[in-house]
């Protein structure tokens, strides 16, 4: 199968200088593309002058992560797409184990490798870790990462297993699946669009897998840092979008009401931490969601909704009340 590694770039000239050479060195089995999201720095010039083997796709405007990939991937012809963040350092033979999943199991539609922290290489990284899951309330977390608690990699997740979502930092997906799903939901702009994509894929019977036989290192926070209220806004709003789109109507409405209350608690928590901009970001997220509710509700697909989507009832309760910091000691449903 043909593999295309596709990096989305926006004003990331320094990241391209740092991490693209290893992608080229360790990916001889793949074609390399960079989709430029209308950068205003010297990214395109750098690519043209220094990396002639890289195919450049230029979007006319910054369409965010979701829209940027949707538009750029129209110009990539391959069997498998690897959507790779520009701040990821790859390792030798990093694509081999992932590609084996696709060749040995036709039901695998999406996959990811192990994601380790570039700054602290013995630990898992926030965005993806050892595969993504959500709790019954729709809050995302990972094996190896629960909220800000990152596990040390001791080989505990060196397995190959089915997961609920794969990280957009390093996501492998069959081209025909991406196209059948109409790509990412561009209204997300950035953050949690991969969770929605994977949820929609599972609702129509596809499998998402993780393999610990491959690993990469992710810098993280290159676009929006956790301290940025816009990240808080996108995460809270987009999570509500996903719940609305991917659950049966009765379940979705019940969960939205519960989330209204819990998100209010989160807003108060930020206020007590003297982070009023984050409290306001949660409020904006809900107003944006309600304003767009009709449009989002109409996006619901006719599919067999997956009801056993969660592995625990409340990751918030487990982590903040019972102080659970390790995936393997979560109370499973």
Can you tell me the mean pLDDT for 209-218? Answer: 98
pLDDT confidence of residue 307: 80
pLDDT confidence of residue 330: 84
Specify the range with the lowest mean pLDDT, choosing from 23-27, 179-183, 269-273, 298-302. 298-302
Q: How confident is the model at residue 165 (pLDDT cuts 50, 70, 90)?
A: very high
Give the integer Cα–Cα distance in Å for 254 and 261.
Answer: 11
Q: Per DSSP, which regions of 86-235 are E strands? A: 88-90, 108-117, 132-134, 140-142, 145-146, 149-150, 160-162, 170-174, 207-218
- 238-295 pLDDT tens trace: 999 999 999 999 999 999 999 999 999 999 999 999 999 999 999 999 999 999 999 9
The tokens describing 151, both together, are: 């596990």
Q: State the burial class of residue 104 (Cβ atoms within 10 Å of its Cβ: 0-12, 13-18, 19+).
A: exposed
Q: How confident is the model at residue 48 (pLDDT cuts 50, 70, 90)?
A: very high
| Residue from 170, 226, 175, 166 nearest 195 by CA | 166
Domains along the sequence of the chain with CATH: 3-218 (3.90.550.10), 229-329 (no CATH)
pLDDT confidence of residue 303: 65
Helix 43-50 and helix 13-25: axis angle, to 10°?
A: 30
Residue with token string 């593309």: 33
Give the integer Cα–Cα distance in Å for 217 and 195.
Answer: 20
Cβ–Cβ under 8 Å, residues 63 and 71: yes
- 70-82 pLDDT tens trace: 999 999 999 999 9
pLDDT confidence of residue 333: 60
| Residue from 140, 27, 35, 24 nearest 85 by CA | 35
Beta-bridged to residue 171, according to DSSP, are 83
């Amino acid at each position: 199968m043909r593999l295309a590694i596709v990096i989305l770039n926006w004003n990331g000239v320094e990241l391209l200088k740092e991490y693209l050479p290893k992608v080229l060195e360790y990916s001889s089995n793949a074609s390399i593309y960079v989709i430029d999201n209308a950068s205003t720095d010297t990214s395109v010039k750098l690519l043209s002058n220094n990396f002639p083997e890289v195919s450049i796709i230029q979007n006319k405007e910054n369409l965010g992560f979701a829209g940027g990939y949707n538009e750029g991937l129209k110009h990539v012809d391959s069997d498998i797409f690897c959507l790779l963040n520009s701040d990821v350092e790859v390792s030798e033979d990093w694509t081999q184990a992932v590609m084996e999943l696709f060749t040995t199991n036709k039901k695998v539609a999406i996959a990811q490798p192990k994601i380790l922290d570039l700054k602290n290489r013995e630990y898992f990284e926030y965005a993806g870790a050892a595969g993504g899951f959500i709790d019954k309330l729709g809050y995302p977390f990972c094996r190896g990462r629960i909220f800000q608690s990152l596990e040390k990699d001791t080989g505990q997740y060196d397995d190959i297993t089915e997961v609920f979502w794969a990280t957009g930092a390093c996501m492998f997906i069959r081209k025909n699946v991406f196209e059948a799903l109409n790509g990412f939901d561009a209204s997300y702009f950035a953050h949690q669009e991969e969770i929605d994509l994977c949820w929609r894929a599972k609702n129509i019977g596809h499998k998402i897998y993780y393999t610990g036989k491959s690993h990469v290192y992710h810098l993280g926070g290159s676009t929006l840092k956790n301290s940025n209220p816009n990240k808080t806004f996108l995460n809270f709003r987009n999570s509500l979008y996903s719940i609305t789109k991917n659950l049966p109507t009765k379940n979705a409405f019940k969960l939205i009401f519960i989330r209204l209350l819990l998100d209010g608690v989160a807003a108060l928590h930020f206020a007590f931490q003297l982070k009023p901009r984050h409290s306001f970001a949660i409020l904006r997220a809900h107003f944006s969601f309600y304003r767009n509710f009709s449009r989002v509700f109409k996006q619901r697909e006719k599919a067999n909704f997956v009801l056993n989507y969660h592995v625990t009832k409340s990751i918030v309760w487990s982590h903040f009340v019972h102080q659970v910091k390790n995936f393997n000691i979560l109370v499973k449903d």
